[in-house]
Structure 1
Amino acid sequence: MIDDLKINETLRERWYAKGYWTHDTIADIWQRAAVAHPDREYVCDDTGSRLTYGEVDDKAGRVAAWLIAEGIKAGDVVTLQFPTWAEFCIVYVAVLKVGGVVHPVPRNYNDVDLEYAMNLVGSRAYLSPTFSHNTDYEAQILSVRDAVPTLAAIAVLDKQAPSHSELPTFDDIYERFEPLREPVPVSADSVACILPTSGTTGKPKQSMLTHNNILFSERVFTRELGRTQGDVMFMPSPLNHATGFFHGLISPLLLGGRAVLQQDFRPREAIELMNAEGVTWSMSATPFIYDMLNALDAEDGLAFDTLRLFCCGGAPLPPALIERAARYGVLLCEIYGSTESCPHVFVPPEKCAEWNGAWSGVPFAGIEVKVIDEAGNEVPRGAQGEEISRGPHMFVGYLNERDRTDRALSDEGWFYSGDLCYMDEEGRIRINGRKKEVIIRGGENISAREIDDDLIGAPGLANSATIGMPDTRLGERICTFVVPSDPAAPPTQDGLIAYLRERHVAKRLWPERIEIIDEIPVTATGKVKRFILAQILKERMEAE
């Protein structure tokens, strides 16, 4: 049972009094939806899977019954490792039915990542496909099973390949178990989901969000964006992110609507899929809409038939992109937030054209935002400072890392984003930089420090420092400045990648550009002056 949660009691009482929080869990909301419209389609994907609310409920109920038979109890953590498939809905609902905690991890986590993450959260069960995308998930979990002492149950979905071990498959479970009819009761203030999030140092933190956090967040998100039951959500983002899971699947659930998933994003196929399924809105990182607009520009007759609203997170929206989308009948709406504070600022749809990328947005109803200086005092309007936020959506801490929780989340409920911004007299903010050393690549936060740590010991490398390299499509790519131990034989990109591959470092952490430098610029206390590296990179790229 996870109980080290950081929730301010005064705020808790206020949010219940205002109706921001209720006693409903996500499982309660699901149960009502499944009873109200069992034959309505809830989710489909581009692999051919289609599931109604009733079908998800039946299969999830059977998996839930199996989890209980395996000893999984309320409060236990269940790790899910899935592509962007409709079947993810079966497993997340099953976990919530038993009062468990959903712990979705990236589909590209390798054995080292998986062992670390599952031990950190104390996983009691693990659910995945047998095989997908050249990854043998079954072999991978079996290779680390004995290294995760809390792990009590494993099951695999044989959607694309048969099981090659004695592990139970979902088809076995569907045949052997009758559905659990009523969800196991838990508090709406208990943790519903743990999402990995990259920080500025070391390994990913595990952000804890309660049922109330998630439900408030998605209710205000759908309401202020004017969404209804008739809207159809397109989601190409990974389901281990708040964007993919919460916006992609919980938002449609609250509306009684539909979600359309794409396993591997390809822009032309995405447009065709959205048109075929009547998609009206989406939420993803900027590169997704950038690529689709390029596909539209390249092919006469290709168009968005039904898409009208595309919400973008991960980076500020350039005006030129907003204007391009408008020519195809789509409003681009900037959304700002993080896994911990997700989301909390947005550009209202009716203001998208007028503000035209000048502002990151205003807080959603019920959420507070301030801009502060280094001493924690609010700065005057128009002055730059750090963005902090507070509200019923706010995460309740990093699992088993109270020190990191206390640094990020104050006793009064304020989350310190590390992002720099300014606010005008109307309460609009503009994010214009960040204090923390994070590279935002295609909407995914990548720790620059983690990349540098992984490179320690690489042949021919005396020192390194990684920064974000500007990229039109992804926002940023990974650029590592390298100090060679022998200037006559500097390390190459291929050599460094070979070293990282041998150490089982995930591909998402491999440098995409190497810059040789004589010395890494640092402060008097040894902190890397990454702004100087950014200026050097800019000059070198311009010279090219």
Structure 2
Amino acid sequence: RWIYYTSGTTGGAKGARHTDGSVIAAARGAIGRHRKVPSDVSAIAWPFPHVGGVSMLASVLIAGGRLVLYDHFDPETTPMRMAAHGTTVLGSATPFFKAYVAAQRRYGERPLFPALRVCVAGGAAVPGSVSREVAEVLGVPGIVDAWGLTEFPVAASQTPEDPDIGTNVGLPTPGVRVRVVDGELRLKGPQCFLGYVDASLDAEGFDEDGWFRTGDLGTVDTGGRIRITGRLKDVIIRNAENISARDVEEALLSHPAIADAAVIGVPDPRTGERVCAVVVARPGGREPTLDGLAEHCRAAGLARFKAPERLVVLDQLPRNPMGKVLKNELRSALAEP
């Protein structure tokens, strides 16, 4: 009944077949973890045809509330339009949260979103530095992280009351089971898709026991909370050492001269791959240098071999409408013979 396509940020887009039941299961997970109530006003900054859009629609049809939809997100004007509706729920990825913070700073000391009770992230991981900035500027505890995929939406989520907001993606939603195999998180549960439109992809998507292979690397602590540590396709292998692109990105984003950052592996004839930092400089600041960023990463606690060995400065990172960095485009543009 429902076909949604993956973002294709690290590989080709794949069509995932969903049912009413899988969509409703995802919606119920969001209702419970995000404490949705009939008085909520949810401003939707992502494309409604995304699987997150139908999950939000179903959650409002079940729990009540109001959706405010936009066919285009302008970081200068859309936050003000959202505020005019008395928004209580904001989402959902780093570029949007940065726009909300910038709008509040332009607005002055009075709260731009006085009714705001929760900020929810889904899709791309939000750096801890952004969550802390949202907490400081918008007056909420931080960004409530939810984890899911096109094939398995709202698999886990924090709640607004969690004491460690922004450090993990919370507990599995009701009915969801999680296991870790060789560092990869695998899932079973009611919101799992039926299979891909191209059925030949199913064998790679599920293991021999029927668990969905998420491609996400992570851990599950003794309390059942899930922490995402990276993507299998985002691991950079340098001299047989595995490097998490996400760890390097977190370190780069804590540098005062960096406004945005993505890390990819580029071919190297000696080491196999090397770490390439693709950054956007903060306006009015000093131009970042490779030596300076490498030293900053080491000071932040990264091992020397994880520090960037190549630096590319762009005006902006290529992102899809959900805010995910299009790393395939970066790899293609920056690949060396």
> Does TM-score exceed 0.5, indicating one fold?
yes
Higher strand share: 2
Which of 292, 300, 318 aligns to 2:100? It is 292
What is the CA deviation profile of residues 329-362 of structure 1, one whole-angstrom value per residue up to 9, with x for unaligned ones? 22420111110111111112110xx214222222
Which of 169, 190, 193 aligns to 1:395? It is 193
Q: 1:210 Cα shift?
A: 0.7
- Aligned residue in 2 for 1:139: none
Residue 272 (1) aligns with residue 86 (2): no
SS at match of 2:131: helix
SS at match of 2:92: strand
- Aligned residue in 2 for 1:337: 148
Superposition pairs of residues 350-369 of structure 1, within 5 angstroms: 350-351=161-162, 354-369=163-178
SS at match of 2:31: helix
- Aligned residue in 2 for 1:429: 226
Q: 1:430 Cα shift?
A: 1.3
Superposition pairs of residues 258-269 of structure 1, within 5 angstroms: 258-269=66-77
- Aligned residue in 2 for 1:208: 17
Contact 2:206 2:212 in 1 (8 A): yes
Distance across 2 between alignment mates of 1:322 and 1:480: 26
Contact 1:367 1:391 in 2 (8 A): yes
Distance across 2 between alignment mates of 1:480 and 1:436: 10
Superposition pairs of residues 90-101 of structure 1, within 5 angstroms: none
**What is the root-mean-square deviation of aligned Cα atoms in Å?**
3.3
- Aligned residue in 2 for 1:348: 159
What is the CA deviation profile of residues 217-255 of structure 1, one whole-angstrom value per residue up to 9, with x for unaligned ones? 1012112221112111110101221123322x2222222
What is the CA deviation profile of residues 79-101 of structure 1, one whole-angstrom value per residue up to 9, with x for unaligned ones? xxxxxxxxxxxxxxxxxxxxxxx
Higher relative contact order (CA 8 A, sep 6+): 2
Superposition pairs of residues 442-453 of structure 1, within 5 angstroms: none
What is the CA deviation profile of residues 453-495 of structure 1, one whole-angstrom value per residue up to 9, with x for unaligned ones? xxxxxxxxxxxxxx999585996559795xxxxxxxxxxxxxx
Distance across 2 between alignment mates of 1:268 and 1:396: 40
Q: Judging changes above 3 Å, is the alpha-carbon distance between structure 1 residues 538 and 478 closer, same or farther for their aligned structure 2 residues?
A: closer
Residue 540 (1) aligns with residue 287 (2): no
Q: Which amino acid aligns with 1:388?
A: R
- Aligned residue in 2 for 1:80: none
What is the CA deviation profile of residues 50-91 of structure 1, one whole-angstrom value per residue up to 9, with x for unaligned ones? xxxxxxxxxxxxxxxxxxxxxxxxxxxxxxxxxxxxxxxxxx
SS at match of 2:169: coil
- Aligned residue in 2 for 1:117: none
Distance across 2 between alignment mates of 1:288 and 1:200: 18
Residue 196 (1) aligns with residue 5 (2): yes
- Aligned residue in 1 for 2:207: 410
Superposition pairs of residues 107-146 of structure 1, within 5 angstroms: none
Contact 2:43 2:89 in 1 (8 A): yes
Contact 2:147 2:156 in 1 (8 A): yes
SS at match of 2:77: helix
Give % identity.
Answer: 31
Q: Judging changes above 3 Å, is the alpha-carbon distance between structure 1 residues 238 and 537 closer, same or farther for their aligned structure 2 residues?
A: farther
Distance across 2 between alignment mates of 1:198 and 1:254: 27
Q: Judging changes above 3 Å, is the alpha-carbon distance between structure 1 residues 200 and 302 closer, same or farther for their aligned structure 2 residues?
A: closer
Distance across 1 between alignment mates of 2:274 and 2:49: 31
Distance across 2 between alignment mates of 1:202 and 1:358: 27
Q: Which amino acid aligns with 2:140?
A: V
Contact 1:369 1:388 in 2 (8 A): yes
SS at match of 2:84: helix
What is the CA deviation profile of residues 108-163 of structure 1, one whole-angstrom value per residue up to 9, with x for unaligned ones? xxxxxxxxxxxxxxxxxxxxxxxxxxxxxxxxxxxxxxxxxxxxxxxxxxxxxxxx
Q: 1:314 Cα shift?
A: 3.1
Contact 2:87 2:113 in 1 (8 A): no
Q: Which amino acid aligns with 2:192?
A: M
SS at match of 1:355: coil
Q: 1:201 Cα shift?
A: 7.4
Contact 1:286 1:314 in 2 (8 A): no
Distance across 1 between alignment mates of 2:53 and 2:230: 25
Q: Judging changes above 3 Å, is the alpha-carbon distance between structure 1 residues 227 and 395 closer, same or farther for their aligned structure 2 residues?
A: same
Distance across 1 between alignment mates of 2:269 and 2:49: 35
Q: Judging changes above 3 Å, is the alpha-carbon distance between structure 1 residues 226 and 529 closer, same or farther for their aligned structure 2 residues?
A: farther
Distance across 2 between alignment mates of 1:388 and 1:475: 30
- Aligned residue in 2 for 1:322: 131
Distance across 2 between alignment mates of 1:226 and 1:304: 18
SS at match of 1:350: coil
Distance across 1 between alignment mates of 2:16 and 2:261: 24
SS at match of 2:104: helix
Distance across 2 between alignment mates of 1:282 and 1:298: 18
SS at match of 1:291: helix
Contact 1:391 1:413 in 2 (8 A): no
Greater CA drift, 308-317 or 358-367: 308-317
Q: Which amino acid aligns with 2:195?
A: G
Q: Which amino acid aligns with 1:326?
A: A
Q: Which amino acid aligns with 1:298?
A: R
Q: Judging changes above 3 Å, is the alpha-carbon distance between structure 1 residues 308 and 200 closer, same or farther for their aligned structure 2 residues?
A: closer
Q: Which amino acid aligns with 1:239?
A: F
Distance across 1 between alignment mates of 2:260 and 2:214: 19
Distance across 2 between alignment mates of 1:529 and 1:392: 41
Distance across 2 between alignment mates of 1:403 and 1:436: 20
Q: 1:428 Cα shift?
A: 1.3
Superposition pairs of residues 9-408 of structure 1, within 5 angstroms: 192-199=1-8, 203-247=12-56, 249-300=57-108, 301=110, 303-327=112-136, 328-331=138-141, 332-351=143-162, 354-373=163-182, 385-399=183-197, 401-408=198-205
Q: 1:537 Cα shift?
A: 8.4
Q: 1:195 Cα shift?
A: 0.8
Higher helix share: 1
Q: Judging changes above 3 Å, is the alpha-carbon distance between structure 1 residues 264 and 530 closer, same or farther for their aligned structure 2 residues?
A: farther
What is the CA deviation profile of residues 272-295 of structure 1, one whole-angstrom value per residue up to 9, with x for unaligned ones? 222321221133212201221122
Contact 1:397 1:409 in 2 (8 A): no
